[in-house]
Amino acid sequence: MSNRAFALVVFAAAAGIIAASRLVTNDYYFSAAYTVLQFVILATAWNILGGYAGYVNFGSAAFFAVGAYSSVFLYRWVHAPLPVMIVTGTLVAGLLGFGVGYLTLRLRGVFFAIATLALAVVLFTCVVNWDYVGGSRGAYILQPKDLPFGLKRYIHVLFGAMVLMAGVALVVARTIETSAIGRGLAAIRDDELAAECAGVPTLRLKILAASVSGALMGMAGTTFPYYLSYVEPSAAFNLSYAVNSIAMPLIGGMMSWMGPLLGALLLGTVQQVVQVTVSSEWNLLIVGVLLVAFVTLAPNGIMGWVDKWKRRRK
């Protein structure tokens, strides 16, 4: 399937999902689906740098929070409309990703991973000490009263935006994967030195992957302030975003765009169910246990099983 056809299919599916959601009356499902979709974006975005290029980013929460806090900033400053917030947050997080891409120039493997973790804590401390966006006390964001398209509640707007953004993330990921960029990134993942020698523009590709990955993670965060109506640093920088965006691609499979999607849908849904039926601590424990179990027992994730099964049938 060409990328254009894929984009058509994805956005047709997105439109279908939004249309079908008009039949759902219980608002809880919108809220739950919003969270799952947010993880679809995070996992897909993480996989662009982590899965395709092999650079582990522990700082997903930082990008997410940058998206969220740029929205808070715009809200306080000019009460910007939602689309402006989404675009701005995406761009700011993309810039941060650009900087992280430059880090890969000197830092390989583990050092890169630790540097991204460090980056998250440094940004966290800066936000805690920045009073304009609420500091450690957090900031209240009021959801707009007037709703577009005759929707009844604001969560419906957020859900629609999230479906579209998830579609964008999937299309971007697949376009990168199937193009020369994706092959270049795969070469970097397998052997960076050899790729460099073979003429792959490694630095340019890594910076591109880091920027796109960061931008998409930031995009997932832009609607977060409206979703909760209240943002505080430890919620926006929550470590569970970092763990989930690593666990989901690992569980689904990191070689294609389908892996993170599967992983996020599966793990995200399980978490929602556990959160409602048991407790939110248990749901985090399950993520950790599943991550460790998959990484030790099924290193190629669910898609690895699928591939094996396909090969056996041939």
Binding residues (CB under 8 A) for other proteins: these are 50, 54, 56, 58, 103, 106-107, 109-111, 113-115, 117-119, 121-122, 124-126, 128-129, 136, 239, 243, 246-247, 250, 281-282, 284-285, 287-289, 291-292, 295-296, 299
Decide whether 207 or 287 has the Cβ nearer to other proteins: 287
Decide whether 54 or 182 has the Cβ nearer to other proteins: 54
Decide whether 74 or 117 has the Cβ nearer to other proteins: 117
C-alpha distances in Å from residue 172, one per residue of 182, 209, 213 = 11, 11, 10
Q: How far is the CB of 136 from other proteins (least distance, A)?
A: 7
Q: What φ, ψ does residue 79 adopt, rounded to 5°?
A: 55, 50
Q: How far is the CB of 267 from other proteins (least distance, A)?
A: 13
Q: How far is the CB of 111 from other proteins (least distance, A)?
A: 6
CA distance 94 to 92: 5
| Residues 6+ away with beta carbon under 8 Å from 237 | 61, 62, 64, 65, 120, 123, 124, 127
Decide whether 19 or 110 has the Cβ nearer to other proteins: 110
CA distance 235 to 93: 18
Q: How far is the CB of 208 from other proteins (least distance, A)?
A: 20
Q: How far is the CB of 212 from other proteins (least distance, A)?
A: 19
Q: How far is the CB of 226 from other proteins (least distance, A)?
A: 27
CA distance 170 to 164: 10
Dihedral angle sign, alpha carbons of residues 35, 38, 40, 46: negative
At 81 the three-state DSSP class reads coil
Q: Is 11 exposed, middle or buried (0-12, 13-18, 19+ CB in 10 A)?
A: middle
Q: How far is CA 270 from the centre of its chain?
A: 18
Decide whether 38 or 104 has the Cβ nearer to other proteins: 104
Q: How far is the CB of 247 from other proteins (least distance, A)?
A: 7
In the chain, the N- to C-terminal Cα span, in Å, equals: 21
Decide whether 179 or 234 has the Cβ nearer to other proteins: 234
Decide whether 228 or 295 has the Cβ nearer to other proteins: 295
